[in-house]
């Protein structure tokens, strides 16, 4: 199965700062990659799919890039509601798998 490795494990930033999260796949998944945001006590919420397409209702401060094995999620200016866990998920291989997550916390 495709293993997704996210880095860093934790990102400590202040509101208004730029966040850059990485997801690396153990084998190529083309652009078949999604990103999710999860707040404590809530289900994950789809942010990005197809590596760079924003899901419905997702603000344009969220952007995704990459293909093959290396992917990036960028949050241009962190808003207070953006803190929490972020997960990548691939659908280029079977079974579909998730990364272990990056925690974005308030500095």
Partner 1 sequence: QVQLQESGPGLVKPSETLSLTCTVSGASISSYHWSWIRQTPGKGLEWIGYIYNIDHSSNSGSTEYNPSLRSRATISIDTSKSQFSLQLASVTAADTAMYYCARDRASTRFDFWGQGTLVAVSS
Residue 98 binds to partner 1 (criterion: CB under 8 A): yes
Looking at beta carbons only, is 69 or 89 nearer to partner 1?
Answer: 89
Residue 71 binds to partner 1 (criterion: CB under 8 A): no
What 3-state DSSP class applies to 22? strand
Residue 46 binds to partner 1 (criterion: CB under 8 A): yes
CB-CB contact of 48 with 54 (8 Å): yes
CB-CB contact of 6 with 104 (8 Å): no
Q: Supply the minimum distance, in Å, between the C-beta of residue 69 and partner 1.
A: 18
CB-CB contact of 87 with 99 (8 Å): yes
Give pairs for 44-50: CB < 8 Å, separation 24+.
44/87, 47/73, 47/86, 48/73
Determine the Cα–Cα distance for residues 41 and 90; give it in Å rounded to an integer: 24
Residue 5 binds to partner 1 (criterion: CB under 8 A): no
Residue 40 binds to partner 1 (criterion: CB under 8 A): no
Residue 101 binds to partner 1 (criterion: CB under 8 A): yes
**Residue among 44, 64, 66, 86 that touches partner 1 (CB under 8 A):** 44
Q: Which parts of this chain interact with partner 1 (CB under 8 A)?
A: 32, 34, 36, 42-46, 49, 55-56, 87, 89, 91, 95-101
């Amino acid at each position: 199965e495709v293993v997704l490795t996210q880095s860093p494990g934790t990102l400590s930033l202040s509101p208004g700062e730029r966040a850059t999260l990485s997801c690396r796949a153990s084998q190529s998944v083309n652009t078949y990659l999604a990103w999710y945001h999860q707040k404590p006590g809530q289900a994950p919420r789809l942010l990005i799919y197809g590596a760079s397409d924003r899901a419905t209702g997702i603000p344009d401060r969220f952007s995704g890039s990459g293909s093959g094995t290396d992917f990036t999620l960028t949050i241009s200016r962190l808003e207070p509601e953006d803190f929490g866990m972020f997960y990548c998920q691939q659908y280029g291989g079977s079974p579909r798998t998730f990364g272990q997550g990056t925690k974005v916390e308030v500095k």
